[in-house]
Structure 1
Amino acid sequence: MRDEHYLIAELLQKYPDLNQEEREQFNQWLEQGNNKEFFNQILDKEILEEELRQLDELKIESEQRGSWEKLLQFRVKPQKLNTIWLNNWKMYAAAASIITILGVGGLIWYKSQRVNNQVVQVEESKAPIITDADPGQFKARLTLADGSTVVLDTATTKQLAQQGSVQVLNKDGKLVYQQGGEAGSDEVLYNTLQTTKGQTYATVLADGSRVWLNSESSIRYPVAFRGSERKVFITGEAYFEVVPSYLKDKDGKGGKQSFKVEVGNMEIEVLGTHFNINAYADEDVLRTTLLEGKIKIITGGISTMLAPGQQAQLKRGTSFLQVTDNSDVEQAVAWKNGYFQFGDDDLKTVMRQLARWYDVEVIYQGGVSSDTYGGRINRNSKASEVLTILERNRVHFKIEGKKIIVTR
């Protein structure tokens, strides 16, 4: 027998287009308890907005790796249509049940939580997906100064190599550089940390600065910073937490070492700051987002200063830099914190992120949907779980080996 809550959720979604039998069921439900008051609240825009705010703050952990949290935090925005979220919070609190309905596109999420054992169940799509793709992992490849390579993962904690006077360690899932003694020759030794599709990794540079690499990205850097400048080179996407560094000579005198990042035809000069660079070759725009501190961006001989909360956008192939205020910094660094986060992004933008993380090729058959997507999904999800959420609005997916086929 179908659960009553799920049935009412469907009736609420279809209302007022109900047949005679459905209208009788709906009227019976209205006469029970405070359901009529609840239904009137559904139609109140201000109450809906407040409930949305509460839902955004709701976080429930489950054995299904946060499925309910993912559903609450994801929305689809069709072109020229309004998306409506409905939820019954108070009336079903005693049974720990929540109904959330996304009216347009026929999307109904139903969640029932058993109070005694805290097991969370989510109604999912019945369409079978024959194959699946696992989420990315903490893996990378390190290329040492002599050209030899080391495969990195989180399972191993040990010293990997000695680069001049610097020890290279794999520790707690991060690549760490530690000064092992007096500096030797003045030769500058470079290492390269690189991730492929489906990989991510982090490193602590010799000066203590931290760098996180997203999938299909790389950073080339000296194992020890000497001179007045610290300079690294990146491709793809990286998040930096740069610490101030001072260089002292034999007499104890010196000055602050600048920190510079070179990416394509753009250079970023840093003091002490937190920022994210998205510079994938398949993205039309290079984006630099500042969270803390100050950075100076130089391109085409023109320099621009960024303040916290600002994002610089450089269209590929040009030197024109556009700066936006009050950018969505959470979206910019969501990947580093374990999420996909979209801000009214089109389908191709969304699928490029999935292709990098799940190491798949995306193939479009037929026209591409003009709908936009917004929300947050845990990156630990399998590809099928993410696609099930996306599939609720006029788009369909099929996984075949290392390919995701998109149809309408």
Structure 2
Amino acid sequence: MNSRLASLYQRYIEDTCTHEEREEFLSLVAENQENGDITSLMDDTWDKIKTDGLLFPHAGNMLQNIIASHQKPVVKKISWYRYAAAAAVLLVTGAGLFYYNSHHVILNSFQDPGLVTNTIKAGQNKATLTLANGKVINLDSTTNGEIAEQTGITITKTEKGQLVYNVAESAKKASTTSPEIAYNTITTPRGGQYQIDLPDGSKIWLNASSSLKYPTLFSKNERKVELTGEAYFEVAKMTIKESGHKKARMPFIVVTSKQQVEVLGTHFNINSYEDESITKTTLLEGAVRVSQIGSRKTVNLLPGLQSVLNNNNLSTRAVDTEEAVAWKNGYFQFNESDLGSIMRQLSRWYNIEVIFKDNKKSEELFHFKASRNLELNDMLKIFELNGIKLKIERRTLIVEP
């Protein structure tokens, strides 16, 4: 065990590090990912959290603050001329194209008939809810208010594009004795997103082309949901009684096609689209354990870390968490992301197909932030001004060589 790493780790979770010590700790985490030291330290913390809860309520923001003050690219370096061009686009205020401040970039609307002949709107709050009895409710066309009732549980749709579950006391008592569990599924299409407040108080934001299967009422010992696509979770803390009078945190488990994530009251994001080669879990607050399905591989995450499951390899890395949850906050944010992955996000949000005439174009890197409320033609100006030739035919975007 690296004694310096162990010492800094303890000071880190107690939030007593100096700025220099935090910088040193982050560097040591990156250097010691392979030897198991950091995993061992995190395992010990995980065990303590399961019984005692988070030792320090502000711990969730610590690594994020480090990353914010010391950001470094986590992918290959962007070529200087591409980086300069992208930066120039983001700062061209004189031409009236962009407004920029320290928080975000907004592209003002303007037309160029050479690029787009039809208007493609940004995505919006759209989803379908499939009840346990098979009934399907189209949420974007259903009137606001109570839309369903399931054995003491009322489901309400709000004007802000979210579902809220309210559980009667009689239903809560029945859940402790009844072995039957009813499951609902909420599904967003391409060009849609939705928010749901689960019966336990957990809040979930569902991105485009995603689905979440969940029980109408959780059992007394376990909370488990199934996810496809991408979602941001704010999990409510709950306790269960163990032997004697001792209480422990009730885990919240998210299952995808490739992994299982166990949490204990926390904020995190999971990106698990089938058309992406990797599955990413990003922790913002609390504690998370990620396990690969069909394997014994497991990693524990501290706030500000991201697990990456790629070709049977499960690893962790420090990331800018703002990029991971930008979609939930109404933005696209790409920190030196390749054009291929960017276009996959755009295709889901704008409900379009994307074709690359030359696959090498998909490897070009971009660094920018823009509102998800932009119409497609405005969004594409970012790429055109950086030398990417584009053409739209109906709902198909063609990236020229």
**Global fold match (TM > 0.5):** yes
Any conservation in 2 of the 1:296–1:304 contact (CA below 8 Å)?
Answer: yes
2:214 to 209, 221, 233: 221
Amino acid at match of 1:385: D
More moved, 185-194 vs 135-144? 185-194
Q: 1:130-173, CA deviations, whole angstroms, 9 ceiling, x for partnerless residues?
A: 12311001010000000111011387321111112211111242
User: 1:173 matched to which residue of 2?
Assistant: 161
User: What is the SS of the residue equivalent to 1:182?
Assistant: helix
Alignment partners' CA distance in 1, 2:112 and 2:78: 20
Amino acid at match of 2:331: Y
Q: Cα 1:384–1:348, aligned 2, differ >3 Å: closer, same or farther?
A: same
User: 1:330 matched to which residue of 2?
Assistant: 322
Q: Cα 1:142–1:294, aligned 2, differ >3 Å: closer, same or farther?
A: same
Q: 1:265-285, CA deviations, whole angstroms, 9 ceiling, x for partnerless residues?
A: 311110010000000111111
Q: Cα 1:366–1:257, aligned 2, differ >3 Å: closer, same or farther?
A: closer
Deviation at 1:401, TM superposition (A): 1.1
Structure 1 or 2, whichever has the larger Rg, is 1
Deviation at 1:321, TM superposition (A): 0.9
1:284 to 265, 277, 286: 277
Query: Which stretches in structure 2 are left out of the alignment for 5+ residues?
Result: 1-76, 98-106
Matched, 1:110 2:103: no
The structure with the greater share of residues assigned to helix is: 2
Q: 1:56-83, CA deviations, whole angstroms, 9 ceiling, x for partnerless residues?
A: xxxxxxxxxxxxxxxxxxxxx9635364
User: 2:79 matched to which residue of 1?
Assistant: 79
Deviation at 1:371, TM superposition (A): 2.3
The structure with the greater share of residues assigned to strand is: 1
User: What is the SS of the residue equivalent to 2:170?
Assistant: coil
Alignment partners' CA distance in 1, 2:146 and 2:108: 44
Matched, 1:304 2:299: yes
Any conservation in 1 of the 2:89–2:382 contact (CA below 8 Å)?
Answer: no
Q: Cα 1:122–1:236, aligned 2, differ >3 Å: closer, same or farther?
A: closer
User: 1:206 matched to which residue of 2?
Assistant: 199
2:345 to 348, 353, 356: 353
How many residues are aligned here? 306
Any conservation in 1 of the 2:108–2:378 contact (CA below 8 Å)?
Answer: no
Amino acid at match of 2:347: A
Matched, 1:258 2:245: no
User: 2:237 matched to which residue of 1?
Assistant: 244
User: 1:137 matched to which residue of 2?
Assistant: 124
Query: Which stretches in structure 1 are left out of the alignment for 5+ residues?
Result: 1-76, 87-99, 114-119
Deviation at 1:261, TM superposition (A): 0.6
Identity across aligned pairs (percent)? 39
Alignment partners' CA distance in 1, 2:214 and 2:309: 24
Alignment partners' CA distance in 1, 2:163 and 2:369: 28
Alignment partners' CA distance in 2, 1:125 and 1:83: 24
Q: Cα 1:271–1:223, aligned 2, differ >3 Å: closer, same or farther?
A: same
Deviation at 1:186, TM superposition (A): 3.7
The answer to which structure, 1 or 2, has the higher relative contact order (CA under 8 A, 6+ apart) is 2
Any conservation in 2 of the 1:276–1:290 contact (CA below 8 Å)?
Answer: yes
Any conservation in 1 of the 2:115–2:377 contact (CA below 8 Å)?
Answer: no
Q: What is the correspondence of 1:26-175 to structure 2 with a 5 Å cutoff?
A: 79=79, 81=81, 83-84=83-84, 101=88, 110-111=94-95, 127-153=114-140, 156-171=143-158, 172-175=160-163
Alignment partners' CA distance in 2, 1:165 and 1:123: 51
